[in-house]
A and B are shown apart, each in its own frame.
Chain A
Amino acid sequence: MMKINTPKKKRVLRELEKRAPKLVETGKKTLILQGLKTSNVLNSVLKEIYHLKRDSAVRYTRKNDNIRPFESGGETSLEFFSQKTDCSIFVYGNTSKKRPDNIIIGRTYDHQIYDLVEVGVENFKPMESFKYDKKLAPQVGSKPFITFAGEGFESIDELKHLKEVLLDLFRGEVVESLSLVGLDRVYVITAVSSDRVFLTHCAVRLKKSGSVVPRIELVEVGPSMDLVVRRHRLPNESLRKEAMRISTDGLKKKIKNVVGDSIQGKVGKIYMPDQKVSSSGILDRVVTYCQVLNTKLFW
C-alpha cells in the first residue's frame, strides 16, 4: 500500500523545487563544520571562510566526533548533513597532534562523497589585521576574480586537484550576465613550492587608464594563509564521468508564433493591438486635410 504525498503549502513546494536537480546548475552551497578539537587559528579560519561566502554557506558550530572523511565508515554523518542542508561542498576543520590546524575540503555528488583534499593552515592572518581604506572593502556576494600562478598547478597532481577544488569553493553564483561595476574582489593563489600554496584575498581598484580597459590595482584586505597539502582523494573514474556530463536537451529555446513546413515555408503570426481608429481623431484630420486640399485646388 502506498500513498502519494504532495506538499500542502506553497512554501514547502518552492523549497523542494529549489533542491531538485536542475539542467544548468547555479552555485553550490558550502557547509562549514568542525571536529572534536579546534585551535584558535582554525576557529578564525572557519569563521572568515563563512564570512566570505555569507549567503551561500551554512555554519555548524557544534563539535562532531564521528566524522572521519578519509575512512570508509566516517562519511555517513557528512552525507546526512549534505542531504539536510543541500550543501555540496563542505569545509571540515580539526586539530590533532599529528595534523595541526587541519582543514578537509570535500565535494559531494548526489549527496555522496565525490572527492577530498586535506590541507594544513599556516601563517594565517585574519581580516582584522589588514589596514586599508574602508571604501574599498568588497561587498558580500560579489563575483570574485580567481587567479592561479605557478607551474606546480600544472605538474603536480595534488596541486591540480587543489586548484579545481578551490575554484569550486570560491567561484560564487553562476550568472549569465555580469555588471562591470560590481567587480571588487580577487583571490590570489600562488604555488610557492611543491606542496605549499599561498592564498590571499584582495580588493580590486579599477583606475582610469587611456583606453576603455581600466588599470588594476590590488589591495590586500581579507584573510591570507599558507595551505600545505597533506592528503587527497580523487573521485573514481565512473563517478567522475557521470558528474562531468553535460546535457544539450534544455538548451534549445522555444520560439513562439512561428510554424512552418516544407510547402508553406516559415509562417509567423503577428498579433496587433487594437487600433482605435474612430476615437483617435485621425478621421477628422483626414477630413480637414481633404477640405484644405479642396480649397487649395480650387483657389
Chain B
Amino acid sequence: MEAENQMQVDLGHLLAFDPYHHFPSPPKSREELVTQCLSEGTKLVQAVVDGLFNLTSTEALEGPLVKLPKPTTRLPREKHLPRPKPPTKWELFAKSKGIQKRKKNKVLWDEQTDSWKRSYGYDRVNDDADVPIIEAKMTDEPGGDPFAKRKEEKKKRVEKTEKNRLQNLKQAAKIGALPSHVQLAATALPITGTQAPPKKITKDELGSVAGLAATATASGGKFDKKVAGEKPVKHQGKHRKFLPAAEGSGMGNREKEQTDKVLNKLMAKNSHEILNVGKAVSMYNVKKQRDGRNQKGRSSFDSSSKLKPNGKPMKGDKKSPYQKSRKGGSHGGGSKKGKAE
C-alpha cells in the first residue's frame, strides 16, 4: 500500500517521521515492544541515510562532506530577529541634503616628517595641538592665550560629539535596537518636582537614623533583627552606672563612697563656712604654677599686643594673675559651685 510507505523525511534535521505506523496488536512484553520500536527505527533511519548519501558530497580529511539542505520543519526562534539600527541624526541630515560618503585614506603623507601618518588618532597628520607658533590675527584680543583657546574649542567639540552619540544610542534603545556591546546606565536619579538635587546622606547620619529607630522599641533596639554588617546601636546621651547588686567581699566600699559623696554635697550647700580649706589650697597651688609659666612668656605677650593693628590684647593675655586672684577671691568662700549635674 503506497499510503503506508510514505515517510516524512527532513534531511536538514536528520529527521524521519512515520505518521502511519501503528501496532497491529498490543505488544505482550517489554522486549517485544522494544524490538518492534527498534525495527521501525531502523527503517526510518535507513530512509534518512538513503537521502543523505544521495546528496553531492565533497571530499574532506575525515571522509565525505555533505551540504545539508534547509530543514523543512519550522521551529520557533530562541531570540527575536535583530532589529535594524535607526539612522543617526547625521545620516538623516546627509540624506536630506544629498551628501554622499567619501572614501578617506587611512594614512596620509606628512610633508614635515616625510613619512606616512594616520589621518586620525595618535600621531596624526595636521594635528591641531602640535603647532608651535600661532600667528596673531587682527581679531584677537591682547592677553588671550590662543593655545588654551584651541584646547577649549576641541574640548567643546568632543563634548558635542559625545552628546550626539548618546542621543543616537538613546534613540536606538527606544526601539530596542541597541548594539549588543553597549549598555546605557543612569548615573543619577531623575529630578522630579522641585529642582533641588537629592541630598547625599553621610554614613554617620545613616547610623544615627538607625539608632533613632532603635529607641522606639521597648528594649532599646537590642534584640532587633540586624542586616549583615550592621553595628550594634550606640546609646547617645546620659550613661548611668549602677553598682553591682551584691559586692564580693568587704564592707560594700563603693556604696559607702557614694553615700559619702552625696552627704558632703548636701552639707556643703547648707553650711555657712566661708572658706573651703581644701579648695583654697588647690587653687593657690594652681595659681602658683600658672604664675611661673606666665613669667617666662610675659614679655612676648606685651610686645605682641602692641604689634597687632587693632591693639587688642591676645587671648593669652587674659590669664593675668590679677584677674585670676579676683576670681579666686570672690568665689573662694563658702559657695561651692558643685557639680550642676
Contact = CB atoms under 8 A, between A and B. Distances in A.
Partners in one complex: yes
Interface of A: 1-7, 13, 16-17, 19-23, 25, 28, 88, 107-110, 114, 123, 143-151, 153-154, 163-164, 167-168, 171, 175-183, 186, 188, 190, 192, 198, 200, 202, 204, 206, 212-218, 220, 224, 235, 240, 242-247
Given A1-B187, A149-B40, A109 B77 contact: yes
Given A3-B185, A143-B14, A198-B37, A177 B52 contact: no
Contact of A180 (B50, B52, B82, B184): B52
B158 interface: no
A242 B77 CA distance: 9
> SS class of chain A's interface: helix, strand, loop or mixed?
mixed
Interface residues of B, number: 61
Nearest to B73: A167
B37 A179 contact: no
> SS class of chain B's interface: helix, strand, loop or mixed?
mixed
Contacts of A188: 37-38, 40-41, 44
Interface of B: 13-23, 30, 33-34, 36-38, 40-42, 44-46, 48-50, 52-54, 57, 60, 62-68, 73-82, 165-166, 169-170, 180-188
Contact of A13 (B13, B64, B181): B181
B49 A214 contact: yes
15 contacts: A5-B183, A6-B181, A88-B79, A109-B77, A109-B80, A143-B14, A145-B14, A145-B16, A146-B13, A147-B40, A147-B48, A151-B19, A190-B37, A245-B77, A247-B81
Contact of B65 (A4, A143, A178, A192): A178
Contacts of A7: 181
Contacts of B30: 123
B298 to A, nearest CB: 63
A149 B41 contact: yes
Nearest to B36: A190
B311 to A, nearest CB: 56
Contact of B17 (A147, A171, A216): A147
Contact of A216 (B37, B49, B67, B80): B49
Given A13-B181, A176-B67, A23 B166 contact: no
